[in-house]
Structure 1
Amino acid sequence: MILSPFEWTIAKRYMLPGKGERFIALVAGISLVAVMLGVAALVIVMSVMNGFRAELFDKIVNLNGHAIIQAYGGRLDNWQSVLEDVRGTPGVTRASPLIEQPLLASFNGRVEAILVRGNTGEDINRLADKVKAGNLPELRTGSDNVAIGKQLAQNLGAQVGDVITIINPAGRSTPFGTVPRQIAYRIAAIFEIGVYDYDNAFVVMPMKDAQTLLLTGDQIGMIEVTTNNPDRVGEILAPLTRQLSGRAVVTDWRTINASLFEALAVERVAMFVILSIIVLVAVFNILSSLIMLVRAKTRDIAILRTMGATRHSLLKVFVTAGFCIGAMGTVAGVIIGFIFLYFRQPIVHLVEILTGQNLWDPSIRFLTELPARSDPVEIATICIMALVFSFLATLYPAYKAASTDPVQVLRYE
């Protein structure tokens, strides 16, 4: 829609009402602010939801892979040949043996439930960028060194260099019953993955040490698998699922975390719909301000019509006036949204200080910090939606202005 200089001049004049029309200007300003806040809320919430899902996915998958092959009974016999078959499957980029077993750990009278993970040296090295204290290379086979999560270290009151005792209830048999197996391990490193449940429970050690602790010999419990496309993991591993039927079960990341990711997807759609209604309500303010403007300018419109202005010109003038309000509100909303996202963590801390409430409890939110990840396509969708709503809100007032009969108006005024 191209405006002539005359039409653009009139549109600018109507976007800035005069002194006698300050109430109309106030309503127009409120409309702009309402659209701005609605768009900003959509940008912020959708980016945080995307960030929450992406961060959870990255942290969970980086630690557990895209799928787990778990043996029936917890012991995978002849696992070396199975591992070779997995690595030879098209689409599989990495496969490594894994031992995982819930046990207990004690230190200075404190006892915590833990999840012992026996990893290969390559998998242990993947934690290098997560280490907060200590030296990860000290986790060598036979060294009796372990790495533990940051939250678990806080719960036990332990630091790097301290010795914790890991208790395995499946110990040795005696005439008086089974005596739990207790082995002391030195804490060589403390890591923070960023997922509360992991940082609160994980104790990582070399695989041979885990086999010794659990008395499993050379057996393992599972194989973790990473593929080149996490969305096609079921299709990629389908041949393995058939091959291992009766010996092991193949479970992908969607099944393992189904309830969590489904809840996030539902909440994401619900938040988008609810916040879209806020934008819709905001553009009704544009509608009301334009209606008031048309009523206030009825005599001016009639004069313009008698001077030769066409109905189409007046239609474009009022559509432009209303659409510009929506466009400015949309642009301002996107800018404010990105500013909020950039300073989101300090803002959360400020609100916590002002309210005295813990707004981001990692034990509830899974992640230690508020994440955000903006999707350009989603941001463009939000902007287009706001602009379309703004355009539609201008049509009725613009039509009323264009249909004004100058003869009837000037006769009675």
Structure 2
Amino acid sequence: MLLSPFEWTIAKRYLLPGKGEAFIALVASISIGVVMLSVAMLVIVMSVMNGFRAELLDKIVGLNGHAIVQAYGGRLDDWENVLEEVRATPGVVDASPLIEQPLLTSFNGRVEAVLVRGNTDQDIAELGSKVVAGDIARLQAGTNTVAIGSRLAQNIGATVGDTITIINPQGRSTPFGTVPRQVGYTIGAIFEVGIYDYDGSFVVMPMADAQTLLLIGDTVGMIEVTVTDPDEVETILAPVQESLAGRAIVSDWKTINASLFEALQVERVAMAFALSFMVLVAAFNILSSLVMLVRAKTRDIAIMRTMGATRKSLLKIFVTTGFTVGAIGTIAGLILGAVVLFFRQPIVEFIGAVTGQDLWDPQVRFLSTLPARANPVEIALIVLLALALSFLATLYPALKASSTDPVQVLRYE
């Protein structure tokens, strides 16, 4: 909708009310502020929710892959053949054997439940980017060296170089019963994945050492699989599931963490729906400010009509005025949202320090920091929603202004 120089001049005049129109300027400023806050809130909340999902998926997949192939009974005897079959499946990026078993560990009289993981050398090397102390390269088969999570290290008071004892209840049989197997392991590295449950329970060791500890010979517990598209993991691994029917089960990340990701999705949709009403409230503010402007400018409108201004020109002037208010608020909201997201962690820490409350307890939130990941498509939809409602809010006042009868207005002037 192109404006003539006359129309644009009047629109700018109404966007910047004079000294005697301070109240109209205040209402317009409030409208811009409400649009800004509503857009910023939508951007922040949706980005944080997306960040939760993406961070959880990245961290969970970083340890467990997109899916696992687990044998009935917990032991995959012919795992080499199954591994080759999985790797040959179209869409599979990588697959590796894995041993995972819940056991107990003790150190200086402290006992903790742990999840012992036996990994290949390649998987152990990939964990190196998450090491906060020690050297992951020290984990070599036969050296009885392990890596443990940072929270577990804090819980038992252990550090790099200390020796922890891992207890396997399935020990050796004696005339007096079964004696639990207790093996000492030196801590070679401490890692931090960023998920509280993992950092508080995982003990990683070479595959051969895990097989020796669990007395399972040359078998593994499962095979972890990484695919090209995590959202299509079910379709990609359908042939594997069919081939291994009766011998093993394929569980993908959606199934393993179904309750967590479904809860995030429901909360994400609910928050988006609820916060969208803030944009609607902002549109009503634009409508009210324009109605007040039209009432205040009734005499000016009548004069412009007598001087030859058309109804279409007046319609364009007031639509442009209201839409510009919405556009300014939308742009300001995007800037505010970007600033808040950039400084989100310091803001959380500041509020926590002021209130004396731990606003981000990793035991409750799973992640150690507040995540955020902006989705360009969602941000574009938020902008379109704000601009569309701003435009619709201008129609009634603009139509009212364009239908003003100059004869009736100027009769008593």
TM-score range, shorter chain: over 0.9
Give the deviation of 1:86 after TM superposition: 1.1
Residue matched to 1:54: 54
Give the deviation of 1:265 after TM superposition: 1.0
Pairs within 5 Å for 1:12-51 = 12-51=12-51
Give the deviation of 1:178 after TM superposition: 1.5
2:369 counterpart of 1:369: yes
> Which secondary structure state, in structure 2, belongs to the residue aligned with residue 142 of structure 1?
coil
Post-superposition Cα deviations, 1:31-56, rounded to whole Å, max 9, x if no partner, equal: 00000011111111111111111111
> Which secondary structure state, in structure 2, belongs to the residue aligned with residue 182 of structure 1?
strand
Residue matched to 2:302: 302
> How many pairs were matched up?
413
TM-score when scaled to structure 1?
0.99
Post-superposition Cα deviations, 1:123-142, rounded to whole Å, max 9, x if no partner, equal: 10010100000011110000
Residue matched to 2:8: 8
Give the deviation of 1:177 after TM superposition: 1.8
Q: Distance in 1 between matches of 2:235 and 2:40?
A: 39
Q: Distance in 2 between matches of 1:237 and 1:159?
A: 41
Q: Flag structure 1 segments of 5+ consecutive residues without an equivalent.
A: none
Q: Flag structure 2 segments of 5+ consecutive residues without an equivalent.
A: none
Residue matched to 1:189: 189
2:107 counterpart of 1:142: no
Q: Distance in 1 between matches of 2:228 and 2:17?
A: 59
2:256 counterpart of 1:259: no
2:67 counterpart of 1:71: no
Q: Distance in 2 between matches of 1:390 and 1:91?
A: 46
Residue matched to 1:228: 228
Q: Which amino acid aligns with 2:390?
A: S
Give the deviation of 1:412 after TM superposition: 3.3
Q: Distance in 2 between matches of 1:22 and 1:119?
A: 70
Give the deviation of 1:379 after TM superposition: 1.0
Runs of 4+ in 1 over 4 A off after TM superposition: none
Q: Distance in 1 between matches of 2:285 and 2:140?
A: 67
Pairs within 5 Å for 1:192-271 = 192-271=192-271
> Which secondary structure state, in structure 2, belongs to the residue aligned with residue 40 of structure 1?
helix
2:155 counterpart of 1:155: yes
What is the alpha-carbon root mean square deviation over aligned residues? 0.9
Give the deviation of 1:408 after TM superposition: 0.8
Q: Distance in 1 between matches of 2:298 and 2:43?
A: 38
> Which secondary structure state, in structure 2, belongs to the residue aligned with residue 74 of structure 1?
coil
Aligned-pair identity (%): 73
Q: Which amino acid aligns with 1:68?
A: I
Residue matched to 1:360: 360
Q: Distance in 1 between matches of 2:90 and 2:105?
A: 40
Give the deviation of 1:143 after TM superposition: 0.3
Q: Distance in 2 between matches of 1:329 and 1:386?
A: 9
Give the deviation of 1:386 after TM superposition: 0.4
Q: Distance in 1 between matches of 2:222 and 2:93?
A: 17
Pairs within 5 Å for 1:278-297 = 278-297=278-297
> Which secondary structure state, in structure 2, belongs to the residue aligned with residue 397 of structure 1?
helix
Q: Distance in 1 between matches of 2:282 and 2:11?
A: 21
Q: Distance in 1 between matches of 2:90 and 2:377?
A: 32
Give the deviation of 1:82 after TM superposition: 1.1
Post-superposition Cα deviations, 1:90-116, rounded to whole Å, max 9, x if no partner, equal: 211111110000011111111111000
Q: Distance in 2 between matches of 1:288 and 1:275?
A: 21
Q: Distance in 2 between matches of 1:139 and 1:262?
A: 37
> Which secondary structure state, in structure 1, belongs to the residue aligned with residue 371 of structure 2?
coil
Residue matched to 1:128: 128
> Which secondary structure state, in structure 2, belongs to the residue aligned with residue 146 of structure 1?
strand
Give the deviation of 1:19 after TM superposition: 2.1
> Which secondary structure state, in structure 1, belongs to the residue aligned with residue 17 of structure 2?
coil
